[in-house]
């Protein structure tokens, strides 16, 4: 008992010694917490830190708590550019014209780019950048321009695209005459952003700046920023699934900060997240930043095909080998029979969707165009075109994705149930047009169909 009291007294003395007290006896919390630069950093790097610490305290605090800061990676390591680089910020040079600012002296002047690209990140993360460059994420602008009538037929405005579509898919960055990034293309952290240095994508889509947290990218909410809504509700599907329910219950027990390449099922987490299935390593399967890997079906396509047969962006993979990888991930927690039977069910669902719903609807659409009952010049300005589009782009995707990710409500009520209703309405009106020879009603005042139909030269240089 005496020993316990003695140690308690020592602890109190130590606690009081580390606390500043005001004159009235209350704890004095007014003094700012200091960040002391105690490692080897260049003078220009120190100037960057000190200036941004004052001008952008939130940005600075994010970086100061990052693994980058701990590893002595500073602003300059990521943002420094060459004088001749296309993405150099001319506006930043004006910072060095303020002679009264001790951190804005000309001796600290360095060319920097506001945009940090995968090419910049590749200096320290070459494998990740190389893998990402091959992925559908990095090449999504090419994909949507090849398959999306909203763009090719100019059926939405450029502003609607910038605030919506391109927010996730990415913009093609441009500069104005003064060398500033244009508001039509910046700010943007879309996964397929085309950067001025020629690289594709933005690492901060998943690893938000300036913390660049591995923990954040491992959580499903990171993917749910874009993978949600009526056309690709992966985050909603995941939340409904057994995996999502377990995540909701036990996420606070997961070891989110495990070192890269060591995050292991059954050890660091109980149920998978998007990243643990599609990107993280487990067993003999290695970590990848190419989300096109491990896929054996292209579930977002109108007609479900193997990834290497997806005409808009053929994967340089073999679907059977990639299926084996994903099944190996599944079998970290599930038995082989469970996994194989799940895949067999998914294959059958894909076949039913293709044969029962999509192919007959596509054949009917083609017939209406051939007979001149639908106008092929623009898409979405006739009701049947919308019905056909949403059959595959909305309900059809939900049925397939809901099955693949084990969310029965999305497979049935949001999926095949809605497919039936959509299919029946489409076929009823289509047959009526054929029987009567009447052309489909065309919306004469389709709103805001003003978007450019010119493909971006940075993506399609040979158009």
CB atoms within 10 A of CB 365: 20
pLDDT of res. 174: 96
User: How many C-alpha atoms does 442 have within 13 Å on its Cβ side?
Assistant: 11
pTM of the full structure: 0.88
Considering the domain architecture, whether residues 127 and 204 belong to the same structural domain is answered as yes
Considering the domain architecture, whether residues 189 and 165 belong to the same structural domain is answered as yes
Token pair, residue 311, equals 């005409």
pLDDT of res. 35: 65
Considering the domain architecture, whether residues 66 and 119 belong to the same structural domain is answered as no
Closest among 191, 174, 200 to 118, alpha carbons compared: 200
Residue 303 domain-assigned? no
Q: Which residue range forms the structural domain that includes residue 204?
A: 115-212
Considering the domain architecture, whether residues 188 and 108 belong to the same structural domain is answered as no
Residue 159 domain-assigned? yes
CA–CA separation, 435 vs 342, rounded Å? Answer: 43
Residue 334 domain-assigned? no
pLDDT of res. 463: 72
Burial class of residue 46, CB neighbours in 10 A (0-12, 13-18, 19+) = middle
Residue 458 domain-assigned? no
Residue 142 domain-assigned? yes
Closest among 273, 266, 164 to 215, alpha carbons compared: 273
Considering the domain architecture, whether residues 128 and 72 belong to the same structural domain is answered as no
DSSP 187: S
Of 212, 229, 251, at which residue does a domain stop? 212
CB atoms within 10 A of CB 196: 19
Sign of the dihedral through C-alpha 336, 341, 347, 350: negative
Token pair, residue 140, equals 């999504």
Of 179, 197, 212, at which residue does a domain stop? 212
Considering the domain architecture, whether residues 107 and 121 belong to the same structural domain is answered as no
Residue 149 domain-assigned? yes
Considering the domain architecture, whether residues 206 and 120 belong to the same structural domain is answered as yes
Considering the domain architecture, whether residues 70 and 95 belong to the same structural domain is answered as yes
Considering the domain architecture, whether residues 400 and 380 belong to the same structural domain is answered as yes
What residues in the chain have per-residue pLDDT under 70?
1-39, 99
Considering the domain architecture, whether residues 79 and 55 belong to the same structural domain is answered as yes
Domain count, the chain: 3
CB atoms within 10 A of CB 413: 12
pLDDT of res. 279: 96
CA–CA separation, 269 vs 244, rounded Å? Answer: 12
Considering the domain architecture, whether residues 106 and 134 belong to the same structural domain is answered as no
Residues in contact with 389: Cβ distance below 8 Å, sequence separation at least 6, in sequence order: 149, 379, 380
pLDDT of res. 16: 39
pLDDT of res. 8: 35
pLDDT of res. 18: 44
Give the chain's end-to-end CA distance (angstroms, integer).
85
pLDDT of res. 105: 86
CA–CA separation, 292 vs 301, rounded Å? Answer: 13
Q: Which alpha helices (DSSP H) does 283-318 contain, by range?
A: none
Residue 92 domain-assigned? yes
Residue 405 domain-assigned? yes
Cα angle 186-192-194, degrees, rounded to a multiple of 5: 55
Q: pLDDT (tens digit, 9 = 90+) per residue, 359-407?
A: 999 999 999 999 999 999 999 999 999 999 999 999 999 999 999 999 9
pLDDT of res. 421: 98
Considering the domain architecture, whether residues 123 and 98 belong to the same structural domain is answered as no
- Give me the percent of the chain exceeding a pLDDT of 70: 91
Of 212, 238, 271, at which residue does a domain stop? 212
pLDDT of res. 152: 96
Q: pLDDT (tens digit, 9 = 90+) per residue, 188-221?
A: 999 999 999 999 999 999 999 999 999 999 999 9
pLDDT of res. 12: 36
């Amino acid at each position: 008992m005496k020993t316990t009291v003695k140690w308690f007294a020592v602890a109190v003395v130590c606690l009081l010694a580390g606390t500043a007290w005001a004159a009235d006896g209350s704890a004095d919390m007014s003094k700012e917490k200091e960040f002391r630069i105690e490692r080897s950093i260049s003078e220009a790097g120190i100037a960057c830190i000190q200036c941004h610490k004052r001008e952008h305290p939130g940005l600075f605090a994010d970086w100061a708590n990052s693994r980058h800061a701990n590893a002595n990676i500073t602003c300059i390591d990521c943002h420094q550019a060459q004088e001749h680089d296309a993405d150099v910020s001319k506006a930043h040079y004006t910072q060095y014209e303020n002679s009264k600012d001790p951190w804005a002296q000309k001796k600290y002047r360095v060319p920097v780019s506001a945009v940090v690209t995968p090419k910049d990140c590749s200096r320290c993360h070459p494998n990740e950048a190389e893998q990402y460059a091959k992925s559908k994420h990095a090449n999504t602008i090419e994909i949507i321009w090849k398959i999306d009538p909203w763009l090719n037929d100019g059926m939405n405005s450029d502003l609607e695209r910038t605030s919506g579509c391109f927010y996730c898919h990415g913009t093609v960055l441009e500069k104005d005459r003064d060398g500033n990034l244009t508001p039509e293309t910046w700010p943007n952290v879309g996964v397929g952003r085309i950067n001025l240095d020629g690289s594709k994508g933005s690492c901060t889509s998943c690893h938000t700046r300036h913390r660049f947290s591995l923990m954040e990218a491992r959580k499903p909410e990171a993917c749910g920023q874009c993978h949600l809504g009526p056309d690709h509700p992966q985050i909603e599907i995941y939340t409904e699934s057994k995996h999502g329910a377990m995540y909701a219950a036990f996420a606070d027990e997961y070891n989110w900060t495990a070192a890269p390449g060591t995050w292991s099922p059954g050890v660091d987490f109980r149920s998978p997240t998007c990243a643990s299935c599609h990107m993280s390593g487990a067993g003999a399967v290695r970590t990848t930043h190419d989300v096109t890997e491990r896929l054996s079906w292209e579930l977002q396509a109108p007609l479900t095909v193997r990834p290497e047969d997806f005409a808009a962006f053929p994967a340089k993979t073999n679907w059977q080998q990639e299926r084996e990888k994903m099944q190996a991930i599944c079998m970290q927690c599930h038995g082989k029979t469970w996994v194989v039977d799940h895949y067999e069910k998914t294959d059958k669902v894909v076949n039913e969707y293709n044969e029962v719903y999509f192919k007959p609807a596509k054949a009917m659409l083609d017939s209406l165009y051939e007979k001149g009952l639908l106008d092929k010049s623009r898409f979405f300005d006739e009701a049947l075109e919308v019905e056909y589009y949403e059959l595959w782009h909305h309900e059809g995707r939900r049925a397939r994705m809901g099955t693949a990710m084990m969310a029965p409500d999305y497979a049935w009520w949001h999926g095949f149930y809605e497919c039936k209703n959509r299919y029946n309405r489409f076929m009823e009106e289509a047959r009526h047009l054929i029987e009567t020879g009447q052309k489909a009603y065309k919306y004469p005042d389709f709103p805001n169909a003003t978007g450019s139909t010119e493909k971006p030269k940075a993506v399609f240089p040979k158009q």
